[in-house]
Structure 1
Amino acid sequence: MRLLEKLSRYLSNYRQRTGQQQMAVATGAAIEAGKSLVVEGGTGVGKSMAYLLPALMAVSENGARALIATSHKPLQDQISKKDVPVVAQLLKEEGKRPLKWVTLKGLSNYFCWHSADEEQGKIAVDPVAAKVIRYAAAAGLEFNGDFEELPFDVPPETKALLSATSDDCLGKKCPQFSRCYAFKVREEAEEADVVITNHSLLTLDIQSEGMIIPGQYAFYVIDEGHNFEDNATKANGLTVTLGACRRFLNSDAVKTATKIASARIETARTNYDRLQQAIIQLWNLPAEQTRFKSSGGNEDENKRLLKTEVPSGLALAEDIKSLAALIRAVPPKTDEEGARLQRMAKQGLSLAERLEKICAIGDPNLVYYAERLSYSPVEARRRPDAAAYAINAMPIDVSGYLEKWFDENTVIVTSATLSDGQNFDFFKKRVGIRNADTLIVPSPFDYAGRVRLFFPRTENNAANGGKTYATLTEQITQLINSVSDGRILVLFTSYAALDYVWRRLNDHEEFRLNPQRPLFRQGESQMQRIISNFQDTHNGVIFGTRSWWQGVDLPGMRLLIIDKLPFPQLNDPIINARNQDIEARGGSSFNEFMLPMAIITFRQGAGRLMRQEDDRGVIVVCDDRIVRQRYGARFIKSLPASIPVLGSIKDLHPFLESFD
């Protein structure tokens, strides 16, 4: 596309690439033909511009409307605040019509004036909440209600305090409806040419047949497509925490409604206690009845399988329904009290509906399990009334929810890691894509010249847990010491391994007291703060688990260390159920699910090293299965180009020094 050449006017570091041109042409052709396209673009291709330019051109020329969905907010913000404005300006200068675009998020992302009215007691002891209210009042129309647009950070618990959810939003019946930020954004979305949203809202809209996102769209773009199945799973799942049940039963609305029906609340509290005991009892049952085991044989102490109907939960659901009806029947003294009562009644009915569906254990496509929640000490102090248990029902296979929608719409799905290194069959099957063209656009970066692989040898067998954390710590220590100049990222497949290695390295004065080699650990502060501090150093080391395997951009890396091949953990009940589903149909869960999932995750992790054309470094895999097992070759072949393998740790330093 000739317009790609003109992007250099607006992007100072822009370089046109053949792969970007190829992807843009394929995207434009798919949109014009009304066909779907699954396209993988390697790092450096420039995927966003490759799909935005043909997509927005189609919108501008044909009057079509488009929806773009991402997995993570940073990319959503980049598209809406940087990329789309550039393309829209370019098209305008080419004589195309001006475009309108809007970012649409879920209700919990927007400040709610009614929630602020209802939670005045809690706001009085939350200085950040009070700050949000003052800012919103002073900003007027300049503030769109999005917490992310505030010039200061808002912790999750404050966002929850000051926002509404679909469970309790009163819509047009709300006394603060005229000031509703979420509704105003939805109105803007109805008029916009392009709506930028997230995977979760899109999948909820698909499930509800268009009731969540306003408007009709000629085509859709799903970026970060490798996360689409996971996000669809969460969006279509059900969760009820015991804390939510208890807060409803202890609410002022319930107290008001049961002044003349005290027996009903006592029955509800009895059933709540029975449900809580039934859940706690799961941790005392034999392992084979309720527990999930990891691939290493370790039991997950925080999850227990629900196999049979939960009578106490069903009884509590009926009690909550009755209490909600009593709340609705209370004659309010003021309009404000009426709105508060109606909101709590709606919240109760939604809670009861989810509780009933979970405790009935009636859908064969759902896996049901109880979960013991882990709160940080800070969160525990802020949530003293939160019973630390939840019950869940999650879909085993989301393709059934999605395949009709994919059949009926033009959808462009893209990511750097959609294939397993061979084809797209695994991804397409998992999300229900039956008819789509496919394209793989390789990275333009010189992986063969600027990257090396290294596989430390060990006599222990990682497959059966034989490799000890002590051995892993020794390997990582040697690797860090072998690189005197440059940043390092260490990716772990478990928190246990990260914690062990982190503690042992901090026991060494050479690391703990060395300002030239600062260590950063996932969880010690927010990810963006860690990244910012890390980028201020020249020789920092980050230790991270799964959230650091993707979506993290750290130019200037010299060493990327992966502790184990990232096979999905069998102690995840959803993974466990998906494996059983495949085996029940006569398939091989390892070959059809575990292996391709691991390869895609491995590719995501390995992709953290080369973020810019002039980056260079070594990818180290501390799991000898990659050379010892037959399937290890598939991991290696899934990487870009033919990356040479170093024979010894002594070769790392000379290779890196060769670029200086």
Structure 2
Amino acid sequence: MGLADAVHAAFQPDGVLSRTEGHYLAREGQIRMADAVARTIELGGALVVEAGTGVGKTFAYLVPALLSGERVLLSTATKALQDQLFARDLPQLVSALGLPVRTALLKGRGSYLCLHRMEQARQDTALHDRNVQRVLAKVEVWSHSTHSGDLAELPGLDERSPVIALITSTRENCLGVACPRFRQCHVHIARREALAADVVVINHHLFFADVAVRESGMAELLPTVRVVVLDEAHQINEIGVQFLGTHLSTGQWLDYSRDLLATGLQHARGLADWSTLAGHLEQACGDLRIAVGPRVTGAKLRWTGEVPETVTPAGWHEALRGMASACAQAMEALDPLSEVSPDLVRLYERGSELLARLGRFAAPCSPDAVRWLDVGGQLRLVESPLDIAQTMQTRVLAAPAESDAEKDDGDGWPAPAQHAGRAWIFTSATLGDDAGLTWFTERCGLQNAEILRVDSPFDYASQAALYVPRHLPEPSDPGHSLAVAGLAGAAASRLGGRTLVLTTTLKALRAIGDALQARFSNLEGPEVLVQGDRPKRQLMQRFREGTSGGGRGCVLVASASFWEGFDVPGDALQLVVIDKLPFPPPGDPLIEARSQRIKAAGGRSFQMVAVPEAAVALKQGAGRLIRRESDRGVLVVCDTRLATMGYGKRLMRALPPMRVLENTEGLEAALDALTRTSTTDWTWP
């Protein structure tokens, strides 16, 4: 039986998939996608699939990948999705298919406990407050029982905890084979297990970290893999440019200063004035901040000349020279101490790397890149390519598999392969708003890939409604956020919570969150959850619980990462409110540079950059509402431009084909219908 036949058999009503799900239904779109994946695996090449919500894209690529018998690399957007894929979807299918498949999970080093760093942190208790010491003690107890060292397994550890930086390693401070705990290193063990596995689950950050610096262990893994699947592929361009560029931050500089002080006092006390050396590094960071001057947090300063905009050249260059001098002094003190400790050797190497990056930013920007200064809690100097197209074509898609690389006719070029080359599968629910998915394919160098679009099987016209309130202030009006809060609050009152408010800015997040918390300050109304007030994991868990167990319904006000990957099927979520159309922020250096490139080529930058960006983001946000066939709900987009501007029609087409509500009365009737009928016999009023 060929791969295509085996895949078809698995998706039949009485096939193996019917035994993995109690209510399995064969879906035409899912089978179409699985057929295309199977064909690409057999023939090689690249396939791009936009699969609407409910298609079941995970099984559509997993079934042919597993049945192919090939080594498979699965990459997804976040660590949470990694865990879901590895702990739930893969074991379920491997068991159902009865395959002797070894699977492995591989994350970036920042996800794993570093035993050496933990021991150092425990010894430096004088540098930490009691709360940090308490958490460190808890980590140490857990370290004796964990096999994987994956910090996601440690209950109660807040992902925002400052302890995480103390107990994990980075590329800069890892000692590698010189580490005294290398044999027990969780990162090393995870990489070793990945090399021995048939299916390896990673994330996009890890994938591109390796493309950029060959640091993640993927350099050994990728050549042995014939099938590569990148799920949630709409994120790979933005993640890729982060890793393919050059970054230097005052945070890195201060980390180096702290490590220099702690390590010097621990291993070479009295051999250098570590306090003074560390102080010079800290002072250099402060001088750079002074040279930049007072700026609004979150500002991105264009850097088209020798210095960032509005920054005085003399002060800037003097501050950079001060940073270089402080780093050189530290390295001079470290140089004769290589025999004392591998930690000191690594500090010397880190100093060299910092100086090299500093030199990069003292020189002119690369002509095919864009440079800017990010102003936040720390200063970040960034130089980035505009997209990943060239890298994908020359360093990723063109890289041979191990079996191909072995076929060499002696002149340095691979001989013609006698079997299919590597298969690349790129998939997401949102990859563009045109038939060719050009928003995705052009930036990722995939113009020659096969394109497949599979619509959602959901009946959106009967399951969901869309309302664009015409009476709200314009998005630029200072009172817009309070008006959104008023509308969301009134709707949430009718529903008893069950409301997700998605904002496009942190300022709106805070304004709307504060207004709703003030409105529902009593214990009788819905519970208002605001992103940032608790760890993300806790917010998601509480919202999904909803009214189950006698609790109150919830209103969650969130931004950024909650626009996608937040899955709440069922009655806990019946209303999604989006405050504004998610156009790229004005002044974003990458967006501006991409727009300028399009203008130079004679194109219309707003239509080719801003509108597709907004369409993809809007579709992602709207996708939070309907997650399965029995879900019912209302989407409210509080931006009159969706109904009044010419580009609004294009953005409307990007949304699922929901019923449109014309006025406030229609919205209220739809919300009331959600509360007085069950989801099994629900119909519009």
**Which interval holds the TM-score relative to the shorter structure?**
0.7 to 0.9
| Aligned-residue offset at 1:653 | 3.8
> Does structure 1 residue 200 correspond to structure 2 residue 198?
no
Alpha-carbon separation, structure 1, partners of 2:119 and 2:504 = 44
Q: Is the 8 A contact 2:281 2:323 kept in 1?
A: yes
> 1:437 is matched with which residue?
450
Structure 2 letter corresponding to 1:41: A
Deviations 1:622-659 (A, max 9, x none): 1111111111011111123x322111121234335175
Alpha-carbon separation, structure 1, partners of 2:280 and 2:166 = 28
Alignment of 1:384-463 (within 5 A): 388-404=378-394, 405-407=396-398, 409-458=422-471, 460-462=473-475
TM-score (norm 2): 0.83
> 1:567 is matched with which residue?
583
> 1:377 is matched with which residue?
none
| Aligned-residue offset at 1:300 | 6.7
Identity among equivalent positions (%) equals 31
| Aligned-residue offset at 1:41 | 1.1
Alpha-carbon separation, structure 1, partners of 2:255 and 2:554 = 44
| Aligned-residue offset at 1:389 | 3.1
**Structure 2 gap segments, 5+ residues each:** 1-7, 308-315, 400-421, 548-552, 679-685
> Does structure 1 residue 480 correspond to structure 2 residue 480?
no
> 1:533 is matched with which residue?
542
Alpha-carbon separation, structure 2, partners of 1:157 and 1:274 = 23
Structure 1 letter corresponding to 2:110: S
Structure 2 letter corresponding to 1:132: V
> 1:160 is matched with which residue?
165
* Change in 2 beyond 3 A, CA 1:147/1:210: closer
Alpha-carbon separation, structure 1, partners of 2:544 and 2:204 = 30
Q: 2:60 aligns with which of 23, 42, 50?
A: 50
Alignment of 1:282-321 (within 5 A): 282-283=292-293, 302-306=299-303, 307-308=305-306, 311=317, 312-313=319-320, 316-317=323-324, 319-321=326-328
Q: 2:38 aligns with which of 5, 28, 43?
A: 28
Q: Is the 8 A contact 2:331 2:348 kept in 1?
A: yes
> 2:550 is matched with which residue?
none
Q: Is the 8 A contact 1:41 1:47 kept in 2?
A: yes
Structure 2 letter corresponding to 1:480: A
| Aligned-residue offset at 1:444 | 0.9
* Change in 2 beyond 3 A, CA 1:116/1:469: closer
* Change in 2 beyond 3 A, CA 1:89/1:270: closer
Alpha-carbon separation, structure 2, partners of 1:340 and 1:617 = 57
**Structure 1 gap segments, 5+ residues each:** 285-290, 292-298, 375-387
**Aligned-partner SS, 1:615:** coil
Q: Is the 8 A contact 1:8 1:15 kept in 2?
A: yes
TM-score (norm 1): 0.86
Alpha-carbon separation, structure 2, partners of 1:249 and 1:603 = 44
Alpha-carbon separation, structure 1, partners of 2:372 and 2:438 = 30
| Aligned-residue offset at 1:525 | 0.5
* Change in 2 beyond 3 A, CA 1:576/1:314: farther
* Change in 2 beyond 3 A, CA 1:129/1:37: same
**Aligned-partner SS, 2:21:** coil
Q: Is the 8 A contact 2:472 2:483 kept in 1?
A: no
> 1:371 is matched with which residue?
374
**Aligned-partner SS, 2:613:** helix
Aligned residues: 613
Structure 1 letter corresponding to 2:666: D
| Aligned-residue offset at 1:346 | 2.8
Alpha-carbon separation, structure 2, partners of 1:622 and 1:638 = 17
Deviations 1:4-51 (A, max 9, x none): 331232333433311111111111111111021100111111111110
* Change in 2 beyond 3 A, CA 1:247/1:493: closer
Alpha-carbon separation, structure 2, partners of 1:619 and 1:49 = 28
> Does structure 1 residue 144 correspond to structure 2 residue 148?
yes
**Aligned-partner SS, 2:628:** coil
Deviations 1:142-177 (A, max 9, x none): 511111123442544222111111112121111111
Structure 1 letter corresponding to 2:436: N
Alignment of 1:472-621 (within 5 A): 472-481=484-493, 483-485=494-496, 487-508=498-519, 511-538=520-547, 539-555=553-569, 556=571, 557-621=573-637
Alpha-carbon separation, structure 1, partners of 2:214 and 2:71 = 17
Q: Is the 8 A contact 2:596 2:605 kept in 1?
A: yes
Q: Is the 8 A contact 1:71 1:227 kept in 2?
A: yes
> 1:385 is matched with which residue?
none
* Change in 2 beyond 3 A, CA 1:127/1:109: same
Structure 2 letter corresponding to 1:338: S
Q: Is the 8 A contact 1:237 1:394 kept in 2?
A: yes
Q: 1:234 aligns with which of 242, 261, 264?
A: 242
> Does structure 1 residue 89 correspond to structure 2 residue 95?
yes
Q: Is the 8 A contact 2:53 2:627 kept in 1?
A: yes
> Does structure 1 residue 188 correspond to structure 2 residue 193?
yes
Q: Superposition RMSD on alpha carbons, in Å?
A: 2.8
> 1:288 is matched with which residue?
none
Alpha-carbon separation, structure 1, partners of 2:306 and 2:276 = 26
* Change in 2 beyond 3 A, CA 1:545/1:8: same
Alpha-carbon separation, structure 2, partners of 1:105 and 1:204 = 11
